[in-house]
C-alpha cells in the first residue's frame, strides 16, 4: 500500500482534529477557574522570574471573511481609544499582583489588528507594559501587522517602542482568491511594508500564508510562495485554512464548493513545503519554516521547541499572561481565559477585577499527556526517559499508551526502547497521532480538517 493510500485508510482526509496549541484544548475549559484562581497563579510567580505577555486588540477596520478569530469591526477610533484606556487599567491591575523584578521574555500584540492603534496609543501601551515588566535582555517584542492598516508614523512608533519582530499576514497573493476570502492585499503593498519594517532596523520578519483556500491550485500557491520568497521572511507559518462556517458566520460568505478537497489540500501543502525547503528554510514542526539562524530553527536543533497559542515558539517562560478580551493565559497550574465579549471584559477591569470566566486546573495525567502531545507536534518524537524522569510516568502505563497508538497506526509509528517516533512519511498524520494521547472527549467539539 502506498503512502497516500495508507494516509487515507488511517482517516487523514476525513478527520477533524485539534491543532493542539494547548492541552487540554480550549473547548474543554470550564467555569471553575475565575478571577481569584487567576490572581493566585499570578502571585505564585517568583520574584525576578521571566514571563511572557500577550495583548489582544480585537478591532479590525474590515472583517476578512476567512478569519475565525475573535474580532469586531469598527470604522471609528472611539472604541479603540476606550479599549486602550482599559488595557492601561488592566496592566495596573497586573502590577498589583506581580512579584518584584519580574521581566518579559516575550511580548506579543495580536488581534484583530493591533496596528490600527494610533501612534500615541502604541507608544503609551508599550511604555505602560515595560514600566511594569521590562523586556529582559534578549527578549522579543513582536507585533502582528496588517499591510493594509499601517503607515510610516505607526511603524516609527513601534520601532521606537522596541519592536524587534514583525509578523505580516499574506494568506495568498492571487487576486481572485483574495477577493473570494475578503482580503485584498497586493504583493506590491506587502513588499513596501516589509521594506519599511526592515528600514527601521526591525531584525526579524515573520509571514503567514494559507493553503486550502477557495480557488487555490498548485500553480497558484506556487506563484504566491515565489512572491513571498522575494521578501525573504526569517520565519513562515504555512497554515491550513480552517473552513468552519458553523463557528464563524463570516465564513458563510465563502463558497464551500470552491474549497479544495482534503487530498488537494495535502498536495497544496507539499507544493509550498518543497519550495520553502528548496530555498534553504528548515522545517519546524508540522507547518512552520525558518532560516537556520532564526530562533525557531535553533530551538528545534536543541530540542527546545515548544507549542503555545501562537503556534511554535522558542520561549522558555513557564507563565504566559494574556491581557485583553478573550485572551488565554497559561501557568504551571493551568489555563485561564478572559471574557470573550469586549464589554464584559472592560466592565470587570473597570471594577478592579480580572474578567476570567473559564479555564482548566491541571490534574491527573494532564501534564504527562500534554508533554507527549507537544513532543510529537514539535519533535515527532517522545522520549521514555524524559517522561519517566520529569513526570514520574509509570513505565508500564507508558508502554500501554505507546502500544495502543502503534496498534492503530502500524508502521506509521516507530517504537523502540528510546521512545516513540513519527517517521517523515507519516508526518501528515501528526495531529491524528497526537489525538491518540488525548484523554478528553472531542465528540462535541468542532475542529478543523486534519490536513
Residue ranges of domains in the chain, CATH in brackets: 1-27+365-451 (1.10.10.920), 28-343+350-358 (3.80.30.20)
Tell whether 54 is in a known binding site: yes
Is 208 among the annotated ligand-binding positions?
Answer: yes
Q: What percent of the chain has pLDDT over 90?
A: 86
Q: Say if residue 113 carries a ligand binding annotation.
A: yes
366 labeled binding residue: no
The overall average pLDDT reported for the chain is 95
Q: Cα(375)–Cα(434) distance, rounded to whole angstroms?
A: 9
pLDDT above 90 (res 13): no
Q: 417 pLDDT exceeds 90? A: yes
* 5 vs 440, residue with greater confidence: 440
pLDDT in tens, 296-325: 999 999 999 999 998 999 999 999 999 999
Cα–Cα distance measured from residue 360 to residue 346, given in angstroms and rounded to the nearest whole number: 22
Q: Is 111 annotated as a binding residue?
A: yes
Which pLDDT value is given to residue 66? Answer: 78
Looking at residue 446, its pLDDT comes to 63
Q: Is 183 annotated as a binding residue?
A: yes
pLDDT at 445 > cutoff 70 = no
- Single pTM value for the model: 0.95
Q: How many helices (H) and strands (E) does the chain have?
A: 15, 21
Residue corresponding to grid cell 521578501 = 231
Mean pLDDT of 38-46: 99
Average pLDDT on 385-399 reads 97
Annotated binding-site residue? 270: no
Distance CA 72, CA 59 (A): 5
60 is an annotated ligand-binding site residue: yes
Cα 277 → chain centroid: 22
The answer to whether 318 is a known ligand-binding residue is no
pLDDT higher than threshold 90 for residue 68: no
Rounded to 5 degrees, what are φ and ψ at 387?
-65, -35
Nearest residue to 107 via CA among 177, 50, 30: 50
On whether 144 is known to bind a ligand per the annotation, the reply is: yes
Residue 64 annotated as binding? Answer: yes
- Give just the sign of the alpha carbon dihedral 241, 246, 252, 257: positive
Amino acid at each position: 500500500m502506498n503512502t497516500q493510500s495508507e494516509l487515507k485508510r488511517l482517516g487523514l482526509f476525513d478527520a477533524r482534529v485539534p491543532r493542539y496549541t494547548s492541552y487540554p484544548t480550549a473547548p474543554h475549559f470550564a467555569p471553575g477557574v475565575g478571577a481569584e484562581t487567576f490572581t493566585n497563579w499570578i502571585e505564585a510567580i517568583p520574584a525576578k522570574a521571566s514571563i511572557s505577555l500577550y495583548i489582544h486588540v480585537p478591532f479590525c477596520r474590515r472583517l476578512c471573511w476567512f478569519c475565525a478569530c475573535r474580532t469586531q469591526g469598527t470604522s471609528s477610533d472611539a472604541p479603540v481609544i476606550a479599549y486602550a484606556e482599559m488595557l492601561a487599567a488592566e496592566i495596573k491591575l497586573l502590577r498589583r499582583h506581580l512579584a518584584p523584578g519580574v521581566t518579559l521574555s516575550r511580548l506579543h500584540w495580536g488581534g484583530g489588528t493591533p496596528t490600527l492603534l494610533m501612534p500615541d496609543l502604541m507608544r503609551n501601551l508599550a511604555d505602560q507594559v515595560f514600566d511594569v515588566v521590562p523586556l529582559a535582555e534578549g527578549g522579543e517584542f513582536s507585533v502582528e501587522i496588517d499591510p493594509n492598516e499601517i503607515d510610516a508614523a505607526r511603524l516609527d512608533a513601534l520601532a521606537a517602542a522596541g519592536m524587534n519582530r514583525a509578523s505580516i499576514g499574506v494568506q495568498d497573493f492571487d487576486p481572485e482568491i483574495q477577493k473570494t476570502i475578503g482580503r485584498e492585499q497586493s504583493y506590491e503593498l506587502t513588499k513596501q511594508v516589509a521594506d519599511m519594517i526592515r528600514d527601521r532596523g526591525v531584525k526579524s520578519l515573520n509571514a503567514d500564508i494559507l493553503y486550502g483556500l477557495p480557488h487555490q491550485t498548485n500553480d497558484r500557491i506556487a506563484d504566491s510562495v515565489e512572491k513571498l520568497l522575494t521578501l525573504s521572511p526569517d520565519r513562515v507559518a504555512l497554515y491550513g485554512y480552517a473552513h468552519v462556517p458553523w463557528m464563524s458566520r463570516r465564513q458563510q460568505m465563502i463558497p464551500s464548493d470552491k474549497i479544495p478537497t482534503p487530498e488537494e489540500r495535502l498536495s497544496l501543502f507539499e507544493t509550498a513545503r518543497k519550495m520553502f525547503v528548496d530555498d534553504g528554510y528548515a522545517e519546524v514542526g508540522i507547518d512552520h519554516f525558518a532560516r537556520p539562524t532564526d530562533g525557531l530553527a535553533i530551538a528545534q536543533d536543541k530540542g527546545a521547541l515548544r507549542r503555545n497559542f501562537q503556534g511554535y515558539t522558542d520561549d522558555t517562560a513557564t507563565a504566559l499572561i494574556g491581557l485583553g478580551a478573550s485572551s488565554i493565559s497559561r501557568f504551571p497550574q493551568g489555563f485561564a481565559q478572559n471574557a470573550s465579549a469586549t464589554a464584559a471584559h472592560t466592565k470587570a477591569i473597570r471594577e478592579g477585577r480580572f474578567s476570567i470566566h473559564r479555564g482548566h486546573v491541571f490534574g491527573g495525567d494532564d501534564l504527562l499527556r500534554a508533554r507527549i502531545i507537544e513532543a510529537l507536534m514539535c519533535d515527532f518524537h517522545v522520549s521514555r526517559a524524559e517522561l519517566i524522569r520529569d513526570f514520574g510516568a509509570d513505565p508500564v502505563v507508558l508502554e500501554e499508551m505507546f502500544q495502543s497508538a502503534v496498534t492503530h497506526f502500524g508502521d506509521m509509528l516507530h517504537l523502540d526502547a528510546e521512545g516513540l517516533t513519527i517517521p517523515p512519511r507519516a508526518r501528515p498524520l501528526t495531529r491524528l497521532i497526537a489525538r491518540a494521547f488525548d484523554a478528553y472527549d472531542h465528540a462535541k467539539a468542532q475542529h478543523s480538517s486534519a490536513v
